[in-house]
Every structure is written in structure tokens, then in C-alpha cells.
Amino acid sequence: MIITFIGVYLKKLGISNGIIGIINAAFYLGAIASSIFSQKIISSVGHIRSFSAFAAVMIISFLLHSVVFDELLWIFLRFFAGFSFYALLIIIESWLNEKSTQNNRGKILAIYTIVFYLATALGQLFLNVEGKLLESIFTIGSILVLFSIILIALIKVKEPILKPFEKYSLPKTYSVVPLAFVSSLIGGFLIGGFFTMVPIYILEKYNSMEVISYFMSFALLGGLISQWPVGALSDKYGRRKLIAFCALFCAVVSVLFTFSESVMYVYVLGFLLGIGIFAIYPLAVARANDVVEENKDIIEISRTLLYSYGIGSFLSPLVIGVVLSYNREFLFGLFAIICFFLTFYSLSKKRVEDDAMSVYVNIPIVSSPEVANLDPRQ
């Protein structure tokens, strides 16, 4: 809810698209930093205390957003919000992993994915509120996070032990799984741009918060619905072809956006865009599992793919912020170019034999390095 609102709120204040891109990128920079540094804090004080602490930092950042507006301050606030948010994901996912077994890990991850998609889609509908209530979005966000603290603080269970993350370099990952690496990078770019800068495109074109909220919700529902058919098709025809198809599908939909005028037409395109962009990263992880199946490094490779995904998400608002300064239609033009590239790049790679293929697994729309341990393929 908040990450979508930030861009349109700043746009209404008359802030330039370039500055909006920098402020939004700070959130993903915080996410990358959290994946590297927050684990030590969690291991030191435990899951319940660290959850409360990171949630408190998140709430403070939200409330300061509503009290003071300064571009430089907001960059720091978004950084700490991103750091805290991803630290909370590490806590949640490591807890789920600790409490799951080999028999139910796939079901737990599937339920977690569904909850994440539906909660994110529901959050977009809050943008429909008008007047003073719209200005209270940061307060509403703070209340929601406070509810989670109450639930966690009252739980009396054994906390999981968080194992240290091994390091796996980005160049090494690219050399081992080039298609998975490039797909995760582009997937992060597309989704980072979708959440941070596409709402600005919709606002400039239709000047309506209602259109933004429904557009984002339809896209997220498209992403949720696509997970199972895309997974089934990729298990049958291979990841390489499905990555190419999803990329080509996104490219065509992106081109169609430049001709869209009707609101209903945009809703349909949003739903179709969600079908494509939210399938690319899970397909990238599945491709990595196919290529390095039963390799002891697969968990670290999966985590490194998540870092490349995070880098793509970080770069996206920076690049799109500059692009939007020239012409809003360039946004989907950029999406189309990148997706066409991924289509041809994917088809240029070697096919994995049927016997070597793993099984496609649905992954949450946003996840921490801990999701690699929750993945039943590991």
C-alpha cells in the first residue's frame, strides 16, 4: 500500500520524476542492505524481539513521512523502511521454515504466496479513500504494522536458529546459471518499476487514485492466477520457453499500453501485465534448480538470484524516473525493449533435458534470502 502511494503522493506535491525515482530506489537499497546485515541482529536478540524492533523502525519511518517532508529525509526514511520490511520477511520466512516439515513445506510456501499476493492486492484498494483519510495512509500503515506486533508478542513458541548465509558472487552465479541470473535481474527491474513508477504513469494519464488502485489490484490478481498454469506449462515445456513466452507476452502488452485510452482497457492490460511480469522471477529460480540440481550450492545460488532481483528493483525507479521526465509513454517502451531482449536471450540458451528438470514452485511476490530454505526443491 505504502510503496504504491509514495510515488503518486510525491507527484501530487509537484516533485520531479527523477527525484521520485531516487526516493523509491532508496527502499530497495535498504532491502539489499537488510539481506546482508539484518541477520546478525536477528541472531543476537531473537526473532520476537527483533520483529518488534524492526516493526517499530518501520512505524517510525511511516509517521515521520506524514510529519515532515524533505526530499533528503525521505530518502533515508525509505531506506530504513526497506531495511525493516525485508528484515521482517527474513524473520517470518525463517520461522515458517523452522515449523515446516519436508512433507508440508510446499503447501506452506503456497499458502504464504497466496496470502502475500492477496494482502498486497487488498492494500492497493486503500488508495481509493479520499480527502483527509487519503492523507492518513501513513497512519493506516502504522496501525496495520502495530497489529502484527501484538500477534507476535503474544506468541509463546521456541524461536528458530538462523543459520549464517554463505556468500556466492554475482559473476560466479552468472557463469553457472546465466539465463536465471538475467531473468531475475530483469524480473526485479519490471516489478520494481511496476510498484514505484507505473502508478505515476497512471496518475499522469488518468488523474485518478481510483484508477491506480484498481489497476494495481487487477495486475496483482493476474500475477496470482498465473502462477499455477505457468508452473504447469513450464514443467511440461521447460523454463527457457516459458521465460521467452512470458517476456514476449509482457513486451506485447507493454506496446498495447501506448495505445490505451479507455479505463476498462487499462484494467485488462494491467491484469495481463501481472500474468507476465510476476512469473519471470519464479521461472528464473526454477531454471537455476534445473541446471544445478542436487548441487550443494543451490541455496546460495537462489539467494544470489534474489540479490540480482533486488539490484534490478533498485535500478528500475532510477532509470524510469529519468525516462518519465521526457515522455510518459517511454516507460512501457522501455519495458517492451527489455522484454524483447529477454525473449531472444532466453531462446538463445541451451535447453535442459526433461530428466534433469525440477518442479516449478510458487514464490511470494517479494521474499528474503530465507525463502531459499523454505523452497521444497532444496
- Domain CATH for 89: 1.20.1250.20
Split into its structural domains, the chain has a count of 2
CA 207 to chain centre: 25
Answer yes or no: do 141 and 195 share one domain: no
Helices (H) and strands (E) in the chain, counts: 16, 0
Average pLDDT of the chain to the nearest whole number = 88
Residue ranges making up the domain that contains 316: 166-362
Cα–Cα nearest to 9, from 138, 192, 123? 138
Position 254 in a domain? yes
Answer yes or no: do 192 and 149 share one domain: no
Specify the pLDDT at position 304. Answer: 87
Position 372 in a domain? no
Specify the pLDDT at position 268. Answer: 94
Answer yes or no: do 10 and 157 share one domain: yes
Answer yes or no: do 176 and 270 share one domain: yes
Specify the pLDDT at position 310. Answer: 92
Q: Please state whether 157 falls in left (phi above 0), alpha (psi between -120 and 50) or beta.
A: beta
Between 250 and 104, name the one with better pLDDT: 250
Position 92 in a domain? yes
Answer yes or no: do 159 and 170 share one domain: no
Answer yes or no: do 183 and 93 share one domain: no
Answer yes or no: do 152 and 177 share one domain: no
Position 367 in a domain? no
Contact criterion met (CB below 8 Å) for 363 and 303: no
343-368 tens-digit pLDDT = 999 999 888 776 667 888 888 888 88
Answer yes or no: do 221 and 200 share one domain: yes
Q: What is the mean pLDDT of residues 109-125?
A: 91
Answer yes or no: do 184 and 308 share one domain: yes
Answer yes or no: do 316 and 283 share one domain: yes
Position 368 in a domain? no
What is the distance between the alpha carbons of residues 285 and 350, in angstroms, rounded to a whole number? 16
Answer yes or no: do 177 and 287 share one domain: yes
Out of 107, 131, 163, a domain closes at: 163
Position 375 in a domain? no
**Any idea what the Cα angle at residue 338 is, between residues 31 and 370, rounded to 5°?**
25
Answer yes or no: do 208 and 335 share one domain: yes
Cell numbers at 281, concatenated? 522471477
